[in-house]
Amino acid sequence: MSFLTPLYLLGALGLAIPIILHLLHDRPKNKQEFGSLMFLDKTKPPVDRKRRPTHLLLLLLRCLALLLLAFVFARPFVTVDDPADATRRDRQWITVLLDRSASMQRADLWAQAKAGVQTMLGQLGPGDRFTLIAFDDSTEQLAEVKSWLGSSSEAEVNAQLERLAKPGFGGSNLGQALVLAGESIQEAESGPDEQPLARREIVVISDLQKGSRLGDVQGYEWPTGIKVTLRQIGEDDQGNAGIEQVASRAPWAAAEAVPSFRISNSANGIGDELEFLAHTATGETLSQKVHVPPGRSRVVELPGEWAGKSVERLAIRGDAAEFDNQFHFAQNRQQTVRIVYIGEDKPNDAEGSLFYLASAFQQSSTLDFQVEVLSGKSTGPLPEADLFVIGDTVDDPLAQALGQAIEEGAIGLMVVQSPGQAANLGQWLGVDGVIIREVASSDLYSGFSGRGAKLELKLDHPVLAVFRDARYSNFTNLHFWKYRELQNLPDDGIDVLARFDSGAPAWLSAHRGAGRLLVMASGWKPADSQLALSTKFIPLLYSILQTVLDSKTLSRQFVVGEKVDVTRFNNGQAGGGITVMPPGDGAAAISVDKFFTPAAPGLYTAKGSGWSESFAVNLKATESQTEPIVMDQFKKLGLPMTDPVASPGEIAEAAAAAEKTEAHRREYWQWALAAVLLFVTLETVLAARGSRSAEPVMIT
């Protein structure tokens, strides 16, 4: 039994009033004096300390009436359970996001994570919904139970959980997993016979390391009624050190690029001295000490005495966690870049264009530039090349072959040095009537005066993107002594990359089929300009060749989970029938058409018809950042980490439930009020019958 207004029960304290009155009722009320007793001594009546109430039946009726009156105002009721609701309970949907990234390999984190899943299973009851999702760089739904059935459902989940014997080698994309779980809950619909869910919770079981990606969560609008609970396992109390390769510098910045590696030490590292190791293909181990203070990093170049060795694997030693201490290394093979110069220049003529062209490209460990000279009057076949530089008039049929090569994907750089090249330019641009007019500076031979035409560049074009760098963007001191004005050019298909200060086009770019033709209205030889002697010349040539260099210097370093395009191997001529051999003894070759996604670190070997190349796969560098994320960061990202506010739909459901409860409520205050009236009536009757005049009391 319950009461709607239980405070009225305090009125029962009024029972003391009739009890007190009945205790005082036996005292004499009237006095009658008798003359015959006037000479007697006065004596006090005996005091009876055991005073008892009189008229017990009246007292009982009056007390019951007061008690029932307080009972009426308190509104007693009894709720009768609906038989249809006897088997129902508040349902919940728990979604567990289990971190299986590489950082979970530390110590016993994986065992703690599995124990955390078991704890969540213990909170489920009949009819609840449960989802288990494992995540690293990607997400995988391991189990989905729409209606929990106790031990049978638990066995189903545990069977899927046991498939994950240990965590993988991928990175941690926590943001993507959270958004996926939120969208799954939002899109789910309850069946017509299902009870609505009273609780929706996403539980993250992870080490919450700083290397986790959270970008997807930023700006995400969470559905109402969802709570996110973060359960961090493990403590990063001993720190960690990691190793990663540093991106190589621009090809023109150094003739010999030495592989460099960044070794980082976390702020709570156990020491500041680490050992840098190299393991060669012959089984030799090389080492050197590296001093890296906690909270800092240091870039280390591969020592010169190691350069000649066939290094397959690098490592660091001296930190607490060893899961990320190995770095597999695949050295790039030297690739050939073929450049054909078409003209009549002599290789050793310092006044010609060929001399500076050949000097600009320097051989490195990854690139072997081969410059070949061909006369424009040659009648022989056009050799294959990655770049054709045309510095003079080209006769047919060589001109036709050159135009066809550009259409098929080659890059042509035409340096206009005489009006006689107009026919070639019109032929390759597909337009008639092109005219080239010689334009000289007002002071043609004033090379020391500093006067001459200057350039205005279009830096948003990919060829000139390199000059956005402040080190190369200043063209104010670059002068052109003479140039050629190009007339009657086509209106479409031409990009003007640079203009002289007179407004005339200086550098042009035209896409021809699958290839590209670039035109320079002034050359780089000293008689034309200062370009060859400036700091802009080499970056410009490399930028023109950028697409070729990118394809030939593609790194053979990859990370776990990254798609590897196997057709890029063998200098882009891999062909078909490619197989990939994973690392480890007894590994079976995998046939690949185009893309291969490695699942573990190590040295892989891609093989084709007549060729074989190795590539290395490593962990993502962010997995070495094992420091935990500060919880305030999750709050700033807007994660709903507090109990959700009831939505309008939930409020309506609660109101309906209240109405349903009220419908099954039985109240008894009416019966209590009737009993009060009955007791009052009886009390009135008994009091009337028992009323009589008080008899005189003799006083002596």
Query: For the segment 442-477, what is each residue's pLDDT rounded down to a tens digit?
Result: 543 433 334 556 778 888 888 888 888 777 777 878
Checking if the pLDDT of 302 tops 90, the result is no
Q: Specify the range with the lowest mean pLDDT, choosing from 205-209, 330-334, 402-406.
A: 330-334
Residue 168 pLDDT: 94
Q: Which pLDDT tens digit goes with each residue over 509-532?
A: 999 999 999 999 999 999 999 999
Shared domain for 479 and 578, answered yes or no, is: no
Residue 507 pLDDT: 93
Domains contained in the chain, number: 5
Residue 654 pLDDT: 52
Shared domain for 677 and 595, answered yes or no, is: no
Shared domain for 156 and 172, answered yes or no, is: yes
Q: Virtual CA dihedral for 32, 35, 37, 38, nearest 10 degrees?
A: 110
Shared domain for 109 and 21, answered yes or no, is: no
Residue 88 pLDDT: 54
Cα–Cα distance measured from residue 154 to residue 119, given in angstroms and rounded to the nearest whole number: 12
Q: Specify the range with the lowest mean pLDDT, choosing from 15-19, 79-83, 273-277.
A: 79-83
Residue 579 pLDDT: 95
Q: Which CA distances in Å does 64 have to 2, 14, 19, 61?
A: 20, 11, 12, 5
Q: Which pLDDT tens digit goes with each residue over 560-597?
A: 999 999 988 887 788 888 999 999 888 899 999 999 99
Checking if the pLDDT of 81 tops 60, the result is no
| Residues 164, 242, 634: CA angle, nearest 5 degrees | 65
Residue 107 pLDDT: 87
CATH number at residue 185: 3.40.50.410
R_g over Cα of the chain: 47
Q: Quick check: is 266 in a domain? A: yes
Checking if the pLDDT of 664 tops 70, the result is no
User: Beta-carbon neighbour count of residue 663 at 10 Å?
Assistant: 9
When pLDDT is averaged across residues 301-327 and rounded to a whole number, the result is 88
Shared domain for 353 and 483, answered yes or no, is: yes
Q: Which pLDDT tens digit goes with each residue over 117-172?
A: 999 999 999 999 999 999 999 999 999 999 999 999 999 999 999 988 899 999 99
Q: Which CA distances in Å does 56 have to 29, 52, 687?
A: 20, 10, 12
Cα–Cα distance measured from residue 489 to residue 324, given in angstroms and rounded to the nearest whole number: 59
When pLDDT is averaged across residues 346-370 and rounded to a whole number, the result is 89
When pLDDT is averaged across residues 356-370 and rounded to a whole number, the result is 87
Q: What is the largest CA-CA distance in the chain?
A: 175
Residue 449 pLDDT: 39
Q: Quick check: is 470 in a domain? A: yes
Shared domain for 315 and 364, answered yes or no, is: no
When pLDDT is averaged across residues 201-210 and rounded to a whole number, the result is 95
Checking if the pLDDT of 358 tops 70, the result is yes
Q: pLDDT: is 508 or 689 the higher one?
A: 508
Cα–Cα distance measured from residue 367 to residue 250, given in angstroms and rounded to the nearest whole number: 12
Cα–Cα distance measured from residue 624 to residue 211, given in angstroms and rounded to the nearest whole number: 7
Pairing assessment for the beta strands 494-500 and 455-457 based on DSSP bridges: antiparallel
Q: Quick check: is 661 in a domain? A: no
Range of the domain at 675: 2-81+666-690
Q: Quick check: is 650 in a domain? A: no
Q: Which residues pair with 505 in a beta bridge?
A: 499
Residue 614 pLDDT: 92
Q: Virtual CA dihedral for 343, 344, 346, 349, nearest 10 degrees?
A: -90
When pLDDT is averaged across residues 543-562 and rounded to a whole number, the result is 87
Closest CA to 499 of 474, 480, 526: 480
Pairing assessment for the beta strands 91-99 and 129-135 based on DSSP bridges: parallel
Q: Quick check: is 652 in a domain? A: no
Kindly give the interhelix angle for 398-407 and 422-429, rounded to the nearest 10 degrees.
Answer: 40
Q: Which residues pair with 260 in a beta bridge?
A: 301
Residue 448 pLDDT: 34
Shared domain for 214 and 301, answered yes or no, is: no
pLDDT interval class at 647 (50, 70, 90): low
Residue 56 pLDDT: 74
Shared domain for 399 and 444, answered yes or no, is: yes
When pLDDT is averaged across residues 478-507 and rounded to a whole number, the result is 89
CATH number at residue 563: 2.60.40
In the predicted model, what is the mean pLDDT of the chain? 84
pLDDT interval class at 674 (50, 70, 90): confident
Judging by beta carbons within 10 Å of its beta carbon (0-12, 13-18, 19+), is residue 237 exposed, middle or buried?
Answer: exposed
Reported residue count of the chain is: 700
Q: In what order do the strands lie in the sheet with 297-301?
A: 241-245, 260-265, 297-301
Residue 637 pLDDT: 92
When pLDDT is averaged across residues 313-332 and rounded to a whole number, the result is 91
- Kindly give the residue spans of alpha helices, DSSP state H, lying in 374-466: 398-407, 422-429
Q: Which pLDDT tens digit goes with each residue over 410-434?
A: 999 999 999 999 999 999 999 999 9
Shared domain for 325 and 339, answered yes or no, is: no
Shared domain for 213 and 229, answered yes or no, is: yes
Tell me the whole-structure pTM to 2 decimals: 0.68
CB–CB of 30/697 below 8 Å? Answer: yes
When pLDDT is averaged across residues 399-417 and rounded to a whole number, the result is 94
When pLDDT is averaged across residues 78-103 and rounded to a whole number, the result is 76
Closest CA to 557 of 499, 497, 603: 603
Checking if the pLDDT of 402 tops 90, the result is yes
Closest CA to 324 of 211, 433, 447, 468: 211
Q: Quick check: is 86 in a domain? A: no
Closest CA to 171 of 615, 591, 562: 562
476 CB contacts (<8 Å, ≥6 apart)? Answer: 454
| Cβ burial 525-562 (10 Å sphere, 16+ → b, else e) | bbebbbbbebebbbbbbbbbbeebbeebbeebbbbbbb
Shared domain for 535 and 582, answered yes or no, is: no
Residue 447 pLDDT: 38
Element (H, E) at 580: strand 578-581
Q: Quick check: is 539 in a domain? A: yes
Domain closes at, from 283, 313, 329: 329
pLDDT interval class at 662 (50, 70, 90): low
Q: Quick check: is 448 in a domain? A: yes
484 CB contacts (<8 Å, ≥6 apart)? Answer: 416, 417, 418, 419, 436, 437, 438, 439, 521, 522
Distance of CA 551 to the CA centre of its chain: 29
Q: What percent of the chain has pLDDT over 70?
A: 84
477: its two tokens: 């001191």
Domain closes at, from 497, 526, 549: 549
Domain closes at, from 549, 581, 603: 549
Judging by beta carbons within 10 Å of its beta carbon (0-12, 13-18, 19+), is residue 444 exposed, middle or buried?
Answer: exposed
Checking if the pLDDT of 63 tops 70, the result is yes
CB–CB of 181/204 below 8 Å? Answer: no
When pLDDT is averaged across residues 660-688 and rounded to a whole number, the result is 71
Q: Which pLDDT tens digit goes with each residue over 6-56?
A: 777 787 777 777 777 777 665 555 666 666 666 677 766 665 555 666 677
CATH number at residue 482: 3.40.50.880
Q: pLDDT: is 51 or 293 the higher one?
A: 293
368: its two tokens: 């072997």
User: Is 208 in a helix, a strand, or coil?
Assistant: coil
Shared domain for 399 and 533, answered yes or no, is: yes
Checking if the pLDDT of 693 tops 80, the result is no
